[in-house]
């Protein structure tokens, strides 16, 4: 059933994008992140039976559907979820005033690290709020602070200890006095985390820190010290092992964690070196295409995307059953989910505008993946990946993918 005029504005004229780096925006995003309803699937014959206005509305709804493809789980994201949710829930249930181990989530640009972590954290927040009847279990008498189990903060591009503290305080819309010195700001951060019942502090784009700069070294020491504030610290960054953030750390084979000392800053009068800061390091990798298991994972991901598309002449297996399409899409995107989403989104728009209403290699050959409209990303931190050239993969040298071939009953009985 097509959506009526009363619901038209909800997808044709969306509100401004929700900013997750403040409390109101984060909670709004958590509440609405799954609210989008995709367009119904129609073939060309059913579309032709619509009135001109109904066709226009349906086409707008299809465009919105392709622009809001769902976040699909991958084998890599399931690994991140397993590590992250285990650490968050274990730390949240601790009563001892000990330093909570943190998590570093690494990977290349456009691989969905932020969306993956935010989705995991939002699901934890929903469970935590429901568990406590949406009340802050640590609230103090006389205070009415909002309960914020999760705080999401972007690392400032030119991070310094003061600017990092201010970014965290801005999430809570906490009052800032321009004359506050660093110890006052650190104390205010500790108060805000405690009074809002925050269990998870996410610091995104952490690899914007440059370890050759003294300010950035001090900022990293400050961030490590936040782990003494009874929160799970989650750091997200591009290629963390090569960024220099771990250069003073040592890897513990027994625990599988990185142990990082803090040297420079004092926090609330305590020397951070009294306790080493421990991190689980987990990678959200891209897809690979080197063996049958990896190829099968890639094809299952393409099937999930295919199910979300609303092209009139789309056929089952449009992205997966052709002998060369899966490899073509991998070659165009290098297995990076963000580049794949951009290619599919732009390809669907071209298919609709041209009337072809189906994705083919010939159509996608004319699509150039442009990443120039992302001013919020820092190219120097590796947040914008290299885009493979739009050329066909070689036809020789690799056998046809036979992962899903039916080899018959005789071979099956083996």
pLDDT in tens, 4-48: 555 554 555 555 677 899 999 999 999 999 988 899 999 999 999
Q: Which residue has the tokens 């001109």?
A: 52
**Structure tokens, 217:** 């070294």
Give the whole-angstrom CA distance, residue 277 versus residue 264: 14
Give the whole-angstrom CA distance, residue 205 versus residue 244: 14
Query: Strand 150-154 to strand 200-204: parallel, antiparallel, or no bridges (unpaired)?
Result: parallel
Give the whole-angstrom CA distance, residue 361 versus residue 325: 7
Best CA proximity match to 245, nearest among 76, 109, 381, 87: 381
Q: Give the whole-number percent of the chain exceeding pLDDT 70.
A: 81
Strand partners, 151: 201
Query: Strand 232-238 to strand 200-204: parallel, antiparallel, or no bridges (unpaired)?
Result: parallel
Predicted local confidence at residue 137, as pLDDT: 76
User: Collapsing DSSP states into helix, strand and coil, what is residue 108?
Assistant: coil
**Structure tokens, 19:** 């900013």
| Domains of the chain, earliest start first | 75-283 (3.40.50.300)
Question: In the 8-state DSSP scheme, what is residue 203?
Answer: E
Give the whole-angstrom CA distance, residue 278 versus residue 252: 10
Predicted local confidence at residue 216, as pLDDT: 78
Residue 211 · residue 218 · CB < 8 Å: no
Best CA proximity match to 353, nearest among 373, 367, 337: 367
pTM of the model: 0.84
Best CA proximity match to 27, nearest among 107, 125, 106, 117: 125
User: Collapsing DSSP states into helix, strand and coil, what is residue 120?
Assistant: helix
**Structure tokens, 179:** 């004359």
Give the whole-angstrom CA distance, residue 58 versus residue 64: 10
What is the number of other CB atoms lying within 10 angstroms of the CB of residue 304?
15
**Structure tokens, 308:** 């979300």
Q: In which element (H, E) is residue 411 found?
A: helix 408-413
Pure H helices in 323-407: 325-333, 337-354, 361-365
Predicted local confidence at residue 269, as pLDDT: 47
Predicted local confidence at residue 273, as pLDDT: 45
Strand partners, 154: 204
Return the sign of the alpha-carbon dihedral for residues 40, 44, 49, 55: positive
Distance of CA 179 to the CA centre of its chain: 36
Predicted local confidence at residue 382, as pLDDT: 58
**Structure tokens, 95:** 């009563």
Pure H helices in 132-231: 161-171, 182-195, 214-225
SS3 content of the chain, % helix, strand, coil (to 5): 45, 10, 45
Q: Which residues of the chain have pLDDT under 70?
A: 1-16, 141-145, 211-212, 262-276, 372-386, 389-414
Give the whole-angstrom CA distance, residue 41 versus residue 181: 58
Q: DSSP E strands: which ranges in 18-107?
A: 102-107
Predicted local confidence at residue 92, as pLDDT: 92
Q: How big is the chain, counted in residues?
A: 414
Residue 223 · residue 172 · CB < 8 Å: no
């Amino acid at each position: 059933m097509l959506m009526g005029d009363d619901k038209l504005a909800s997808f044709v004229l969306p509100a401004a994008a929700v900013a997750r780096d403040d409390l109101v925006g984060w909670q709004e995003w958590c509440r609405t992140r799954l609210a989008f309803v995709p367009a119904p699937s129609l073939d060309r014959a059913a579309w032709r039976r619509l009135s001109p206005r109904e066709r226009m509305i349906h086409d707008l709804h299809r465009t919105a559907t392709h622009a809001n493809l769902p976040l699909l789980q991958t084998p890599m994201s399931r690994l991140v979820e397993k590590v992250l949710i285990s650490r968050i829930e274990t730390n949240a249930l601790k009563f001892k005033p000990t330093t909570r181990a943190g998590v570093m989530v690494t990977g290349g640009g456009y691989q969905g690290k932020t969306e993956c972590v935010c989705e995991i954290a939002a699901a934890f927040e929903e469970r935590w709020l429901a568990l406590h009847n949406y009340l802050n279990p640590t609230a103090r008498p006389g205070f009415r602070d909002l309960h914020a189990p999760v705080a999401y903060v972007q690392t400032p591009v030119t991070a310094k200890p003061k600017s990092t503290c201010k970014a965290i305080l801005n999430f809570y819309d906490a009052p800032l006095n321009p004359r506050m010195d660093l110890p006052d700001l650190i104390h205010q951060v500790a108060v805000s985390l405690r009074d809002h019942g925050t269990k998870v502090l996410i610091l995104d784009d952490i690899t914007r820190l440059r370890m050759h700069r003294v300010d950035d070294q001090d900022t990293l020491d400050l961030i490590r010290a936040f782990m003494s504030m009874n929160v799970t610290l989650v750091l997200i960054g591009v290629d963390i092992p090569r960024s220099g953030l771990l250069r003073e750390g040592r890897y513990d084979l027994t625990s599988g964690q990185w142990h990082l000392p803090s040297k420079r800053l004092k926090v609330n009068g305590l020397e951070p070196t009294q306790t080493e800061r421990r991190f689980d390091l987990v990678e959200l990798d891209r897809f690979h295409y080197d063996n049958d298991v990896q190829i099968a994972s890639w094809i299952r991901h393409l099937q999930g995307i295919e199910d979300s598309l609303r092209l009139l002449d789309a056929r089952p297996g449009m992205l997966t059953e052709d002998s060369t399409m899966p490899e073509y899409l991998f070659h165009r995107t290098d297995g990076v989910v963000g580049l794949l989403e951009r290619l599919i989104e732009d390809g669907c728009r071209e298919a609709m505008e041209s009337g072809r209403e189906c994705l083919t290699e010939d159509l996608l050959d004319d699509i150039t993946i442009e990443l120039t409209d992302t001013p919020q990303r820092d190219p120097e931190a590796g947040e914008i990946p290299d885009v493979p050239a739009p050329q066909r993969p070689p036809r020789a040298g690799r056998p046809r993918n036979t992962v899903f071939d039916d080899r018959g009953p005789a071979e099956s009985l083996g």
